[in-house]
Amino acid sequence: MDWGILTEVVCMNILTDEKDSIRTGRAWIFNYGRNEVKSFLLSNALFWIDEFHVDGLRVDAVASMIYLDYSRKEGEWVPNEYGGNENLEAIAFLKAMNEMVYHYHPDILTIAEESTAFAGVSHPTYAGGLGFGMKWMMGWMHDTLKYFGQDPLYRKYSHNQITFSMIYNYSENYVLPLSHDEVVYGKGSLLGRMPGEGKDQFANLRLMIGYMFTHPGAKLLFMGGEFGQRSEWNFASQLEWGVLNYESHMGIIEWSKVMNHMYKDEKSLHELCTKPEGFSWVRVDDWTQSVLAYERIGIDPNDKIIVILNMTPVDRPQYRIGTEEFGSWQLIDHSDKEVYWGRGRNVPENVNIEEGVWETKANSMEFSLPGLTVVIYKFKAGKKKAKGMLRPATAHPRATAQQPAEAKAKEIKPSKQIASSVSKKAEAKAPVESKTKLSKPFVRRSLGEGGSKLNEQKAKNAAEKVPVKKVVVAKVAKKKVAVKKNTPLKSTAKKSAGIKSLLSNGVDKKKGSKKK
């Protein structure tokens, strides 16, 4: 619904201020600071949605609303209270309108036809934006029509026009508009703006439609463009439905139908439409051959398609591209099929990714690109080969020869000086009195019950410079003997000979010491 035309007529009788009477183009500039003006416009918006159940509202010429000096010469406009050229009242009104509409109808769209670089048109109002759901991508529209309107021979000199849109693509939520404004006022129809004759002219239009449907952003294709109407739009008459009796125009409408279904069915074309993760250039710099290739990626990184556009009539049957991926590509569709009134040139159904360095990439893939054609493939992931699988898992001969010497060099052996310094530090830290004890919780965790007495003996031996190892053996033996006196141990086959000898030696030593 073109809201600007409706409000232009109805609101003329409530313009009272002098600044309201200035007309820019075909739209009046309203005084958005007056409550009666705002009330009427807001009611107008809700009326079309409540009563006529429209799916959305497009606000025309937003730039003329938000800039006080839009289409005005110096001295014909008054700055705002801060001295700027922004119409603060209009900006506040647009925010209020979007908040109100989305509050009552969260499932509709509001779209701004805004042609300047005003920031945040499609950003939420709480983030400082105007609150629109989407914004027309006017720059993409102008660049695309200008590029495809050129003779293919000269397109290589305008390669930047077809790639520039991705530089600012994620600054807003964009709509790609091929609207009524582009097929009126002597501009001609979309088909009429394409170069070439016969099949080349229709191939150019199919190529441009394929580019639009695979480029990030929502799609807007004005009626008549989907079947290649030859004359521009005339609001006083109907569309040229009679041209559908010709195969050439039926081919355009069949291709448009396929692209609509592909846009809906392939998640990679719409899931991350407004996120940088959803797009990746594959070939952006081949301006000499006018070839463009990019991937559209879904939430699942392996759910993706590759789109390759050959912008010239020259066939390129062996067009190779480097890649780091493993797997293959399966053909979804291409625009040169005979059913679309193409020439039916050969395009492989499956393209395997081959090993071998190409253009600084580890692997490569080879496509067949008919002239003035877009080919679209879907990715099928393959298994990545392990790095060691390409050659035997043996070390290099030089590394093997040097290994013993290197291993010896890496062995860490403390010198006598280091050992003596460590022992001196240990002596300095050793407790002097035998009464030193560790805390009970630590003893129980590390040595078990009864370990406190053992620590006392350790501290005493450290002061007397007695080897700790011998004392530990003696104390353990003493403990075991005490257990044997209180509760005699039953000899079992499971007891090791080492334990028996240890106990017996400890008893003999104890007895011998008593005898002495």
Q: What is the pLDDT of residues 29-51, one digit of tens each?
A: 788 999 999 999 999 999 999 99
- The C-alpha atoms of residue 37 and residue 279 are separated, in whole angstroms, by 43
Element housing 331 (H / E): strand 327-334
Q: CA-CA distance, 347 to 334, in Å (whole number)? A: 8
Strand partners, 221: 178
Looking at residue 30, its pLDDT comes to 87
Instruction: Considering only the C-alpha atoms of the chain, give the largest distance between any 2 of them, rounded to a whole number of Å.
Output: 132
Q: Give percent of the chain above pLDDT 90.
A: 64
Residue 460 has what pLDDT? 56
Helix (H, G, I), strand (E, B) or coil at 206: helix
Q: Residue 501: is its pLDDT beyond 80?
A: no
Q: Which residues participate in catalysis according to the annotation?
A: 60, 113
Q: How far apart are CA 332 and CA 380, in angstroms?
A: 12
What percentage of the chain carries pLDDT values higher than 70?
69
pLDDT surpasses 50 at 21? no
Q: Provide the pLDDT for residue 75.
A: 87
Of 21-30, 274-283, 362-371, give the lowest mean pLDDT range: 21-30
Residue 481: per-residue pLDDT: 43
> Is the pLDDT at 53 greater than 70, yes or no?
yes
Looking at mean pLDDT, say which of 4-13, 146-155, 418-427, 499-508 comes out highest.
146-155
* Overall average pLDDT of the 224-234 stretch: 94
Write down the pLDDT at residue 248: 97
| Phi, psi (rounded to 5 degrees) for 321 | -130, 135
- The β-bridge relationship of strands 218-221 and 350-352 is unpaired
Rounded mean pLDDT of 214-234? 95
356 is written with which tokens?
């071998």
Contact 213, 262 (CB under 8 A): yes
Is the pLDDT confidence value at 502 over 80?
A: no
Q: What is the pLDDT of residue 480?
A: 43
Q: Report angle CA 312, 177, 45 to the nearest 5 degrees.
A: 175
Q: What ranges in 117-268 are assigned the alpha helix state H?
A: 138-148, 159-163, 199-214, 247-265
Tokens encoding 237: 């008459």
Cβ partners under 8 Å of residue 209, min gap 6: 221, 225, 252, 255, 256, 259
Type of residue found at 205: L
The two beta strands, 218-221 and 174-178, are: parallel
pTM as predicted: 0.71
Q: CA-CA distance, 223 to 58, in Å (whole number)?
A: 17
Q: Tell me which H or E stretch contains 469.
A: helix 468-486
Find the helix or strand (DSSP H, E) in which 241 lies: none
pLDDT for 430: 46
Residue 151: per-residue pLDDT:
96
Look at residue 463 in the predicted model and tell me its pLDDT.
52
pLDDT at 433: 42
3-class SS of residue 512: helix
Identify the CA nearest to 161 among candidates 205, 211, 210, 118. 211
| Strand partners for 178 | 221
Q: pLDDT of 150-173, one tens digit each? A: 999 999 999 999 999 999 999 999
More confident position, 264 or 486 = 264
**113-117, 248-252, 302-306, 490-494: segment of lowest average pLDDT:** 490-494
**pLDDT attached to residue 59:** 94
pLDDT digits (tens, 9 = 90+) for 259-283: 999 999 999 999 999 999 999 999 9
Question: What's the rounded mean pLDDT across residues 365-371?
Answer: 97
Q: pLDDT tens-digit profile of 307-354?
A: 999 999 999 999 999 999 999 999 999 999 999 999 999 999 999 999
Q: Average model confidence (pLDDT) for the chain?
A: 79
Q: Where are the beta strands (DSSP E) in 371-460?
A: 373-381
Q: Hey, what are 217's tokens?
A: 């952003």
Instruction: Indicate whether 436 pLDDT > 60.
Output: no
Burial class (CB in 10 A: 0-12, 13-18, 19+), 358: middle
Average pLDDT over residues 297-313: 97
Contact criterion met (CB below 8 Å) for 109 and 134 = yes
Six-digit token string for 275 = 């996120």
The average pLDDT across 354-382 equals: 94
Say what the pLDDT of residue 71 is: 87
Number of neighbours of residue 487 by Cβ within 10 angstroms: 8
DSSP assigned state of 433 = S
Amino acid type, 146: K
pLDDT at 426 over 90: no
- pLDDT(201) > 90: yes
Q: What length is written for the chain?
A: 516
Q: Give CA separation, 236 vs 228, 232, 233, 239, 243, in Å.
A: 19, 12, 9, 10, 19
Q: What is the rounded average pLDDT of the residues 236-246?
A: 94
Q: Please provide the distance, in angstroms rounded to a whole number, between the alpha carbons at the two ends of the chain.
A: 117
- Other CB atoms within 10 A of residue 452 CB: 15
Q: What is the tens place of the pLDDT at every residue in 448-467?
A: 444 444 455 555 555 555 44
